[in-house]
């Protein structure tokens, strides 16, 4: 639709901002990207997301929407072509369940494996592997969580393929186990190579160095 203003406040290394970029690209929506200089949050960000003060925030015709999964639903309801969520209410509920599972279980476990050391780290990594194995049960034999094409859960979880691999290398843990979760492992490869999604992914080397930098700070603080 012409004349509409769509702005995304993001950060290049944020997996949550990546979700929104993917959704916008899949819907072929033109938008202006504003890179936030975290941790120096701009007055604009603080004005648009006073409650959580974080990226991503989608601003559509001056009206802000915050929280990545909520933004995805907003995008899907506003621009109805190339749907992200299924039509059927039961399948929609399932998609929301798994996206919620990723944020409530997978993200904290992976973060915990990244920020801790020794036994705590191993415990977190084990939990992360268990959660990812559980996530695999939702995928089954499908190419994508969305079926034949990328959908809500693929967009919500795809970033793990990059970030978890970085955590594995930096923190020296095993998270994505090709032997115990072969379907999920194959899906990670597939989703990150999918045409539209591939273009938005941050440069791997840059991301690895960025994450490595964080790790140094976090582990220096705890030792």
Partner 1 sequence: MATEDVVLLDCWASPYCMRVKIALEEKGIKYEERAEDLFGGKSELLLTSNPVYAKVPVLLHKGKPLCESSIIVGYIEETWASPPLLPSCPYARSQAKFWVDYVDKKLFDAGGNIWRTKGEAQEVAIKDFIEVLKQLEKVLGDKDFFGGDSFGFVDIITIAITSWFLAFEKFGNFKVEDHTPKLSAWINRCMQRKTVAKVIPDPEKIYEVVINLKKMMGME
Nearer CB in complex with partner 1: 78/185: 78
* Helices vs. strands in the chain: H and E counts, helices first: 11, 4
Nearer CB in complex with partner 1: 70/186: 70
**Smallest distance, partner 1 to C-beta of residue 196, A:** 22
The answer to whether 173 and 215 are in contact (CB under 8 A) is no
**Smallest distance, partner 1 to C-beta of residue 73, A:** 7
Nearer CB in complex with partner 1: 67/168: 67
Nearer CB in complex with partner 1: 42/78: 78
Q: Buried b vs exposed e over 76-97: b needs ≥16 C-beta within 10 Å?
A: beebeeebbbbeeeeeeebbbe
**Smallest distance, partner 1 to C-beta of residue 113, A:** 20
**Smallest distance, partner 1 to C-beta of residue 160, A:** 17
| Distance from C-alpha of 174 to C-alpha of 58, rounded to nearest angstrom | 34
Query: Which burial class, exposed, middle or buried, applies to 19 when counting CB atoms under 10 A from its CB (0-12, 13-18, 19+)?
Result: buried
Interacting residues toward partner 1 by CB under 8 A: 51, 60, 63, 65-67, 70-71, 73-74, 77-78, 89-90, 92-93, 96-97, 100-101, 134
């Amino acid at each position: 639709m012409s004349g509409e203003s769509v702005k995304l406040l993001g950060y290049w290394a944020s997996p949550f901002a990546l979700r929104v970029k993917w959704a916008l690209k899949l819907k072929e929506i033109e938008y202006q990207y504003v890179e936030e200089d975290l941790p120096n949050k701009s007055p604009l960000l603080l004005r648009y997301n006073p409650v959580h003060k974080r990226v991503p925030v989608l601003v559509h015709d001056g009206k802000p929407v915050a929280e990545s999964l909520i933004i995805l639903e907003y995008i899907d309801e506003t621009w109805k072509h190339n749907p992200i969520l299924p039509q059927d209410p039961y399948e929609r509920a399932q998609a929301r369940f798994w996206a919620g599972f990723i944020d409530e279980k997978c993200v904290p476990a992976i973060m915990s494996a990244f920020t801790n050391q020794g036994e705590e780290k191993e415990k977190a990594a084990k939990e992360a592997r268990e959660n990812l194995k559980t996530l695999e049960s939702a995928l089954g034999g499908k190419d994508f969580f969305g079926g034949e094409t990328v959908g809500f859960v693929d967009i919500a979880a795809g970033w793990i393929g990059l970030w978890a691999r970085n955590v594995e290398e930096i923190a020296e843990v095993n998270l994505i186990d090709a032997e115990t979760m072969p379907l999920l492992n194959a899906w990670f490869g597939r989703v990150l190579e999918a045409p539209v999604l591939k273009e938005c992914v941050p440069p791997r080397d840059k991301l690895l160095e960025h994450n490595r930098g964080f790790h140094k700070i976090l582990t220096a603080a705890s030792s």
